[in-house]
Amino acid sequence: MKNRGVNEDQQPASMDALDYLEAEAIHILREVAGQFERPALLFSGGKDSITLVHLALKAFRPGKFPFPLVHIDTGHNFKEATDFRDTLAQSLDEKLIVRYVEDTIRTKNLQEQTGKNATRNWLQTFTLLDTIEEFEFDCCIGGARRDEEKARAKERIFSFRDEFGQWDPKRQRPELWDLFNGKIQKGENVRVFPISNWTEMDVWNYIRREKIGLPPIYFSHQREMILRDGHLLANSAFIQKDPDDQIVTRQVRFRTVGDMTCTAAVESEAVLIDDVIAEIMATRVSERGETRIDDQQTEAAMEDRKKGGYF
């Protein structure tokens, strides 16, 4: 337990943009706790979900979280991220539930994508929906932000999903002021995005301000990479090699952390968070554009996945 001493200097004379965003996110997390019987926080070990966990500490400590952390593990995750996930859950003494896409593939006899840019991204949805059913989760908190992608830019903070997990972008519930309506029938589900209004820069600035720890892959390190169509992918057994692939060793960091099969790295010497922030501020390419291979396949990739029950 942390020191609970008086610290009057903590009080900001006025709130800046980050303080507003933080207050809004804490409010949303507490609404989840108040409105749902069996919520869960989807946790991947990436910077956005790590930020969510930090916000949950601010919302609920010294109490325990009113929800478990849940990870849908594709089996293609970076080891650094899953290690971080396990260590964090343990050090916070919070419950962690991990479900494996591998198991769903086996029990449901699902067909995996094959070939060059094969990913398990789409298959995650099946495992997620099964996990929701298994634990009867009525709410899943996610770390998606509206600045990430054009379909996400349209989604409510409390995003209603029907009994099949589907998002209907043409019939979203009105969402007024700070009054969140999480009322649902049994079997339905709400996805809640507390950091909807945060930008990538806000997350980084917050991580710096709050001194939040991150997995080492976010910082510059040397790694063996596959150079493919101008993207650098971490060399791993999960990636089916292509004759045109080149294996190279580079000094890289990752700007997002998804599956190894579809997350590209950027070349970087940035070892400290200040350097990472400076580099991201200078770049002219968006986070997903630079690092996610999966979104580039069709114009409406994200919208289609969300309609199918994706995060």
Supply 186's token pair: 């049994």
- Decide if 252 contacts 232 (C-beta within 8 A): yes
Using CB under 8 A as the binding rule, the residues of this chain from 257 to 276 that contact another protein are none
Supply 296's token pair: 């580039």
Torsions phi, psi for 218 (to 5 deg): -75, -10
Per-residue string for binding with another protein, 54-93, x by CB under 8 A? Answer: ---xxxxxxxx-x---------------------------
Q: In terms of Cα–Cα distance, which of 170, 168, 141 is closest to 157?
A: 141
> Is 111 near another protein (CB under 8 A)?
no
**Residue whose entry in the numeric block shows the structure tokens 């519930």:** 173
By C-beta, is 59 or 239 nearer to another protein?
59
Q: Provide the minimum distance between the beta carbon of 257 and another protein in the complex, in angstroms, as a whole number.
A: 19
> Is 153 near another protein (CB under 8 A)?
yes
Stretch of residues binding another protein (CB under 8 A), selected from 135-143, 224-232, 251-259, 277-285: 277-285
Supply 166's token pair: 């589907």
By C-beta, is 2 or 109 nearer to another protein?
2
- Decide if 224 contacts 249 (C-beta within 8 A): yes
Number of residues that bind another protein (CB under 8 A): 70
By C-beta, is 73 or 303 nearer to another protein?
303
> Is 166 near another protein (CB under 8 A)?
no
Q: Provide the minimum distance between the beta carbon of 255 and another protein in the complex, in angstroms, as a whole number.
A: 13
Residues 6 or more apart whose Cβ sits within 8 Å of residue 111: none
Residues 6 or more apart whose Cβ sits within 8 Å of residue 208: 273, 274, 277
- State how far the Cα of 234 lies from the Cα of 44, in Å rounded to an integer: 18
Stretch of residues binding another protein (CB under 8 A), selected from 73-81, 97-105, 244-252, 285-293: 285-293
Using CB under 8 A as the binding rule, the residues of this chain from 187 to 216 that contact another protein are 196-197, 199, 201
What is the greatest pairwise CA distance in the chain?
63
- State how far the Cα of 97 lies from the Cα of 43, in Å rounded to an integer: 9
- State how far the Cα of 224 lies from the Cα of 231, in Å rounded to an integer: 13
Of the candidates 37, 111, 115, 179, which one interacts with another protein according to CB under 8 A? 179
Of the candidates 116, 173, 208, 250, which one interacts with another protein according to CB under 8 A? 173
Q: Provide the minimum distance between the beta carbon of 144 and another protein in the complex, in angstroms, as a whole number.
A: 12
**Residue whose entry in the numeric block shows the structure tokens 């976010």:** 218
Instruction: Enumerate binding residues for another protein (CB under 8 A).
Output: 1-2, 4-8, 10-11, 14-17, 19-24, 26-27, 30-31, 33-34, 57-64, 66, 146-147, 149-154, 156, 169-170, 172-179, 181, 183-185, 196-197, 199, 201, 283-286, 289-290, 299-300, 303
